[in-house]
Amino acid sequence: MIKQNRLVYLTLLIAIVISVFPLYWMFVIATRTNDVVGQYPPPMTPGGELGANVARLFEAEQANFALGMVNSAIASVAVTVSTVFFCSLAGFAFAKLRFRGRNALLVLILGTMMIPVQMGIIPLYMVMVKLGWQNTLQAVVVPFLVSAFGVFLMRQYALRAVPDELIEAAIVDGSSSFRIYWSVVLPALRPGAAVLALFTFMGTWNEFIWPRAVLEADNPTVQFSLSQLATEYYTDYTLMFAGTLVATLPLLAVFIVFGRQIIGGIMEGAVKA
């Protein structure tokens, strides 16, 4: 029994080390000076330059880093809240309610995920020009308020996580479907919703191609900001990674908060009769 546990721990430890290593190395470089970056073997231990590098980060005019962080925070929160709400609602509808065309519409939603996004940039930019939204925050928020991915994920969770009997009982009780959603389904969906919230926040925070296309350097989101730290012919890695490190901190915070939600919801679900 104990031996098996040891094996489990060892496997997990190896998995963690592999997963975390590049992140750790990023941190190491952010605390060093530039002459050690190209070294072989590369440096493995942190240095003392973090403060200096972070100061340079916020002073870099071309990057507008502070604004980038703020813009990304607003965008990520807005998109996450909206996505979790609307996608869990739609997911519930697809999973538990019966209506005409349900399967066809679901397949349609799935289909929208199968179109390569890169070709959509130019026409979507045209839409933004028509709306007058170039270089605005709404351009990076509004198109993403509900996602096909989220609807699909929530539907899959709702299939299993919500017992049909509970819904039947609520219907007999005379509850409206929204009430059923709010009091019965949403609590049961908590782990799934937390997963969606986490992924959506991370996805929006890490988004680069579309913000680069529609925004300018004076109103960036954080990844665009980071790309402005580079120069054409030489990359100041310590600066770059100091920026990346600071940009990762909010993600880490969200990670921990939602991690607890997932675990919390998980424990509830596990004890269910």
For residue 184, the 8-state DSSP code is I
- Give the CA count within 13 Å in the CB-facing half-sphere of 203: 17
Distance, in Å, from the CA atom of 135 to the CA atom of 154, rounded to the nearest integer, reads 32
Measure the N-to-C terminal CA separation of the chain; round to a whole number of Å.
27
Chosen residue from 47, 49, 58, 255 binding another protein by CB under 8 A: 255
Shortest distance, position 189 Cβ to another protein, whole Å: 10
Q: Are 158 and 119 in contact (CB under 8 A)?
A: no
Shortest distance, position 166 Cβ to another protein, whole Å: 13
Chosen residue from 2, 3, 22, 104 binding another protein by CB under 8 A: 22
Chosen residue from 151, 167, 170, 246 binding another protein by CB under 8 A: 151
User: Of the two residues 51 and 161, which places its CB atom closer to another protein in the complex?
Assistant: 161
Q: Judged by CB under 8 A, does residue 103 bind another protein?
A: no
67-91 burial code (b ≥16 CB/10 A, e <16): ebbebbbebbebbbebbbebbbbbb
Shortest distance, position 115 Cβ to another protein, whole Å: 5
Q: Judged by CB under 8 A, does residue 9 bind another protein?
A: yes
Q: Which helix (H) or strand (E) holds 111?
A: helix 102-112
- What is the footprint of another protein within residues 71-100 (CB under 8 A)? 71, 74-75, 77-78, 81-82, 85-87, 89-90, 92-94, 97-99
Q: Judged by CB under 8 A, does residue 232 bind another protein?
A: yes
CA neighbor of 41 nearest in space, from 25, 19, 53: 25
- What is the footprint of another protein within residues 173-202 (CB under 8 A)? 174, 176-178, 181-183, 191-192, 194-195, 199, 202
Which residue shows structure tokens 């996608």? 87
Shortest distance, position 51 Cβ to another protein, whole Å: 20
Distance, in Å, from the CA atom of 202 to the CA atom of 204, rounded to the nearest integer, reads 6
- Give the CA count within 13 Å in the CB-facing half-sphere of 263: 6
Tokens representing 179? 């009430």
x-or-dash string of contact with another protein, 26-45, rule CB under 8 A:
x-------xx--x-x-x---
- What is the footprint of another protein within residues 106-135 (CB under 8 A)? 109-127, 129, 132-135
Q: Judged by CB under 8 A, does residue 58 bind another protein?
A: no
Q: Judged by CB under 8 A, does residue 269 bind another protein?
A: yes
Radius of gyration of the chain (CA): 23
Q: Judged by CB under 8 A, does residue 227 bind another protein?
A: yes
Q: Judged by CB under 8 A, does residue 47 bind another protein?
A: no
